[in-house]
Structure formats: C-alpha cells, structure tokens
C-alpha cells in the first residue's frame, strides 16, 4: 500500500499474515487456562466457571477462543469438561492463523481451526468469545471487533486484551480518547487500567473510519512485545 507522512509502509491483510512480527509472535502459543500467565489472570475471569454456569441449556454452550495459539487452553478446557461429564453440553472452537495445534486435541467438544478473525465466518453464534493478547497482531482491529460482536448470542460475553493506542490515524497519532468514547457508545466496555475490552450481547457496530492498512514496524506495545498498529482515516 502507499506511503504517508506518519507510517513508512502499510500492509494489507494478506501481507500482514506473512509479516515476521505476526509469524514470530509467541505470546499465546502455549498459554494455559490457569496459572501465572493463564487465561484467568489475563482476562480477569474463570472461563470454566462461565461455561459450566451456562451448561444444561437446551442447546450447547459455545465458546470461541480467537487467536488461540496452539490451542492448549481450549484443549485443557475440553478435558475438564469430559471429567465433569459435560462433553455434550459445551462446544469449544479455537481459531488461529498458524496451524500448529496441540496433539491431544481430539475431544468431541473441541474444534481447532486455522484462519483469520477478519476472514473466517462461523456457522453459529457463541455464548463466550475470548481473545488473549491476540488483537495486538490483527490488522483491522475495529473490523474484528465489529465481526466478533455480531457472533455473540443475545446474552453472550466477549472479553479480550486491547490496546487503543495501536489504533491510529494516517499520521501515526493514536485516535485516543475519541476511540474509547466511540467504543463505549457502541456497547463495549473498556478497562484502561487492565487494558481489557468487553461487551455483552450481539450487535453489528460500525465505526466512522476507513481501514487503510497495518504497520508491523510499530515496535513493542505495553506487553513489551513487538505489535501491529492499525491505521485508519475518518469517514467523511
């Protein structure tokens, strides 16, 4: 994509997938469901408690883990569900760009799929959608948030790590407080202290920006790891 005053180069979605920053990201490859860097700590919630509390309904409870890495955490959850006799009551889907998943991932409750959050289309809605530090490496972050919101059930929960500072104008300046206000106006909750974004309930939010491309040379974000900035221009 073309040059501009703020960013040396911009990548489209296909080029971003091949970027070394995205390909070499190891933040989530082997992350566990619990523990010092587990999902519970990073998301501030107990995934198993959320799933089991919803189990027992007429239809299975569905959890989508976006940017699931090797799928270790979803596989652990599937094993725990089997131990608790809930195999048929919960369905787990893990989605990641890299098709290198854990070997012990053959539970009937678990599907691990290779794909992009901005290109993949689910065949059902989800009661829980999580994304642990994965949005840092997504190009069109606002597009991803819109898509994810539309995949929720009526009372579904979405929660993820999110850095608004990575959403920037063409001059590379963060959109800043205007963006967080726009997120809240569209039904999202943002915790600036813990850098978590969440929402309850399905919607199809639209943001007043046109996605221009991704900057994979942004350098480290608050995690200390190289990340991707998403560049937008305001719609007229």
pLDDT tier for residue 102 given thresholds of 50, 70 and 90: confident
Does 3 have pLDDT greater than 80? no
pLDDT tier for residue 108 given thresholds of 50, 70 and 90: confident
Q: What is the pLDDT of residue 50?
A: 95
Rg of the Cα trace of the chain?
Answer: 17
Q: What is the pLDDT of residue 4?
A: 45
Does 123 have pLDDT greater than 80? yes
Q: What is the pLDDT of residue 227?
A: 93
b/e burial code for range 127-147 (CB count within 10 A of at least 16 → b): bbbbbbbbbbbbbbbbbbbbb
163-191 pLDDT, tens digit each: 999 999 999 999 999 999 999 999 999 99
CATH architecture of 13-234: 3-Layer(aba) Sandwich (3.40)
pTM, two decimal places? 0.93
Write down the domain spans for the chain: 13-234
Give the pLDDT mean for 61-65. Answer: 97
Structure tokens belonging to residue 100 = 């290198």
Report H helices in 109-222.
Answer: 141-150, 177-185
Give the pLDDT mean for 47-61. Answer: 89
Terminal C-alpha separation, the chain? 21
| Percentage of the chain exceeding pLDDT 90 | 73
pLDDT tier for residue 30 given thresholds of 50, 70 and 90: confident
């Amino acid at each position: 994509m073309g040059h501009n005053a703020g960013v040396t180069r911009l990548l489209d979605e296909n080029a971003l997938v091949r970027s070394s920053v995205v390909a070499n990201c190891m933040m989530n490859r082997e992350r566990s469901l619990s523990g010092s860097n587990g999902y519970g700590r990073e998301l501030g919630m107990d995934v198993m408690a959320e799933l089991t509390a919803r189990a027992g309904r007429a239809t299975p409870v569905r959890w989508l883990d976006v940017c699931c890495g090797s799928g270790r955490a979803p596989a652990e959850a599937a094993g725990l569900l089997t131990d608790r006799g809930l195999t048929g009551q919960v369905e787990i889907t893990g989605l990641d760009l890299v098709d290198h998943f854990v070997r012990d991932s053959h539970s009937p409750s678990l599907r691990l799929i290779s794909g992009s959050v901005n290109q993949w289309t689910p065949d059902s809605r989800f009661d829980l959608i999580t994304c642990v530090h994965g949005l840092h490496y997504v190009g069109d972050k606002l597009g991803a948030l819109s898509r994810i919101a539309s995949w929720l059930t009526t009372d579904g929960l979405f929660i993820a790590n999110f850095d608004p500072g990575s959403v920037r104008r063409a001059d590379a300046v963060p959109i800043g407080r205007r963006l967080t206000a726009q997120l809240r106006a569209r039904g999202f909750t943002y915790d600036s202290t813990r850098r978590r974004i969440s929402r309850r309930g399905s919607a199809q939010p639209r943001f007043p920006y046109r996605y221009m491309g991704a900057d994979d040379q942004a350098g480290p974000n608050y995690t200390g790891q190289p990340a991707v900035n998403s560049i937008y221009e305001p719609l007229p």
